[in-house]
Chains A and B, each alone.
Chain A
């Protein structure tokens, strides 16, 4: 039997060689790990959040370990879209692995402008909108927490580009389903979920918060159940592909996310401890398919979802914040 088909179609021509990606902010621009990681064997790379203007990011400390996870408050440090294109796109163009540029902004116009500058750039395979950013135009409320704002920014970017468009959901919301639906209706090709959960840690003295920015985003194995719940909910209410992110550290996590409807997963924090994990997961998923005698990993997708993903249910969520 030939190896199982691991390719994933995320729409608009974005076909990944396999469903194991690396998550934005944890793999830089794809070059930092050098020879330690076989970049050409990854399913996709989401690069660090990219903004219109350069950003120096947040005051330090920016990262700290927490039980089963970590908090980060990088503050979107990046050299700005033009520098990102100039420095990295040439390298990306030579890779087999598609690079998806993670885009952040403070206004709809920001997002549109960044995306326009990525349009047609060789080496840029797609866009992932990070909408967990304060919307200056709406008093600093995050795009991600409001279905209207999330739909609006998605629609504006959709009009501005033919690039494959992924939109990344925040877990810091009451009910994510209306937001997911608004984004899908606005023309996104795929959803990615989840971004980090808001949290804080204290300095050892307990006289102040530890992170310079006070707030950080929680990631790692600690957030996997939350990510699993959100992917479970979202994949039942949208027809576009869902890419799962949150606490993947082993094949079992990949299989769990596939079972609740994800067609691919991103590995983030786990890379820091185990840089070769994503490539190993590709091999392990191949072996798993062979062990089960299936021709495509797609048979593993959605097995834990209710039989008929019918009309959105009002009682589907056990957890009510």
Chain B
């Protein structure tokens, strides 16, 4: 669906973890017209000084009920405004925005990797993949047990593996340390979280083929033209896709506020070329 301005209605609002909220909005256009990885740009009703909308990943989208959810941490006046919403209140959202995750039709085993709030970026892909009969393992990293996304909010079919910095639950250490156990099993991986985590994953993904000696997904050697970097076809063949974050102005590609540096030397708009990128499209070492 092409983006549009949608009037949504809050139906549920819960603080699922300290300072982290899960809100449900009635938005049939968005629940059936969006794909995993896309986002909305929501307008706050506080017009006393908040001049920008707030981008939120579409955390889940249920076409049957017409409900989408967003998951966020309160980090300022904008997000606090959202927490004061009550059922029946309306919020105007611009969406769906950005490009979605691209799953290769042949992929059976999907590895999802989320750091903290990055859960919101990959969460809907778990639903989408399971609906398509794929197996999903979700590796999740957080500081400690109190920040761990409740397993009750995930589909039963998902294998959920946790790492915490302090070891209060699951593996003690970084979530990236869990990846080697799964990289042989996974056909593709999809990640969202802090930039250093994504950069570490990109390094792991780069060496994967040599380590495993597996064939690259995609065209047969010597047949056809290589896919254009950043094209849907090229992304579909990428082992690792990442959902990136950046401060946004317009969220439609007009202001160039939200860029990250691409490996082609051209800044890439997170709101338009992203938020999902194939890992090899991102210049991780550029310092941008």
Contact = CB atoms under 8 A, between A and B. Distances in A.
Nearest to A67: B49
A80 to B, nearest CB: 12
A198 interface: no
Contacts of B258: 62-63
A26 B249 CA distance: 9
A66 B287 CA distance: 24
Interface in B234-288: 246-260, 265-267, 272, 287-288
A270 B51 contact: yes
A32 interface: yes
Interface residues of A, number: 37
CB-CB nearest 9 A-B residue pairs = A28-B254, A63-B257, A32-B254, A32-B253, A68-B49, A220-B51, A65-B52, A32-B252, A63-B249
Interface stretch (B2-10, B58-66, B117-125, B165-173): B2-10
Interface residues of B, number: 33
Contacts of B50: 65
A57 B256 contact: yes
Per DSSP, chain B at the interface is loop
B52 A77 contact: no
Contacts of B253: 28, 32
Given A25-B255, A72-B255, 6 more contacts: A28-B253, A32-B253, A36-B4, A61-B246, A62-B259, A270-B51
Contacts of A61: 246-247
A74 B256 contact: yes
Contacts of B51: 65, 68-70, 220-221, 269-270, 272-273
Contacts of B255: 25-26, 28, 63, 72, 74, 272
Contacts of A32: 250, 252-254, 272
B73 to A, nearest CB: 13
A275 B255 CA distance: 13
Contacts of A272: 51-53, 249-251, 255
B139 interface: no
A34 interface: yes
A65 B94 CA distance: 19
Interface in B205-220: none
A65 B265 CA distance: 27
A52 to B, nearest CB: 18
B5 A36 contact: yes
Nearest to B92: A274
Contact of A56 (B49, B246, B267, B272): B267
A252 interface: no
